[in-house]
Amino acid sequence: MSFGDPNNPYGPPPQQPPPAPGYGYPQQAPPPPGLPPQQGYPGYPQQQAYPGYPGYPGGNNMVPQSMPGLLMTARVFLFIISAVQIIGALVFLYFAAFASDVSDGADELGFSTGSDGADMAAGVFGVFALVAAALATLSITLGVKFSRGGQGIRITTVIYGALGAIVGLLGLFVGLDSGFASAVVGPLLWLVFGGIIAAAPVVPSGTAWFARPRY
């Protein structure tokens, strides 16, 4: 026997003819002229690639998947500020209630001048309490909306942080003029908090976060 004999059981197996086109697996279409062939598994159609979402102007096409660290810091600062504002609103309400009690006592004793002054103080403290409560509501709303908010939340946060930084700067000047070190700590913290809150939505990472697509 020779190995060339097709009936030889010890010889190599006979060669199979290639499958006819169009039989079995779908065939790939030839690439357009000028484009390199697509790499992939033979016999399977190639999947079409979809471009990424466009990023912010001047940046890349990468969409942030999680909130940037500076925005998370600004969010925490907003919640801390809201807690301070809530405490301030409660304190002003207590002062307003105390002044109202003083006014009632002065009326009973016949001191009309003291009654008028106490009524005015109660009204001023009441207004301060309402303003502090409104600011606390705004701080909490901005912090909560960071996850889903758009350009409106971004612009409002920048303005709110800038105003807070201005108030802290003015308080810092007053504290320095007073000569007491304790009078500088509060305004300095307020200045730092306001500056970070105003800067976080302006940096490129914050701009990309608020400009990302939402579904």
| Residue 139 shares a structural domain with residue 155 | no
Asked if residue 213 is part of any domain, the answer here is yes
What is the distance between the alpha carbons of residues 100 and 115, in angstroms, rounded to a whole number? 9
| Residue 154 shares a structural domain with residue 132 | no
Residues 194/168, Cβ–Cβ less than 8 Å:
yes
Could you say which of 143, 173, 192 is where a domain stops?
143
| 176 burial via Cβ count (<10 Å: 0-12, 13-18, 19+) | middle
Residues 206/68, Cβ–Cβ less than 8 Å:
yes
Asked if residue 157 is part of any domain, the answer here is yes
| Residue 129 shares a structural domain with residue 162 | no
Name the pTM for this structure.
0.66
Q: What is the DSSP letter of 24?
A: S
DSSP track, 129-197: HHHHHHHHHHHHHHHHHTTT--HHHHHHHHHHHHHHHHHHHHHHHHHHHHT-THHHHHHHHHHHHHHHH
Asked if residue 43 is part of any domain, the answer here is no
The tokens for 112 are 């009309």
What is the distance between the alpha carbons of residues 139 and 161, in angstroms, rounded to a whole number? 10
| Average pLDDT for runs of 10 along the chain of length 215 | 54 57 52 53 45 45 74 95 96 90 64 67 91 96 90 94 94 84 86 95 92 77
Per-residue pLDDT, 117: 73
84, amino acid identity: V
| Residue 130 shares a structural domain with residue 187 | no
| Residue 136 shares a structural domain with residue 182 | no
Instruction: Report how many domains make up the chain.
Output: 2
CB 73: neighbour CB atoms within 10 A? 14
Per-residue pLDDT, 121: 84
Residues 71/77, Cβ–Cβ less than 8 Å:
no
Task: State whether residue 74 is helix, strand or coil.
Answer: helix
| Residue 101 shares a structural domain with residue 166 | no
The tokens for 183 are 């009078």
Residue ranges making up the domain that contains 135: 82-143
| Residue 162 shares a structural domain with residue 126 | no
Per-residue pLDDT, 53: 43
| Residue 158 shares a structural domain with residue 171 | yes
Asked if residue 2 is part of any domain, the answer here is no
Per-residue pLDDT, 34: 54
Residues 71/200, Cβ–Cβ less than 8 Å:
yes
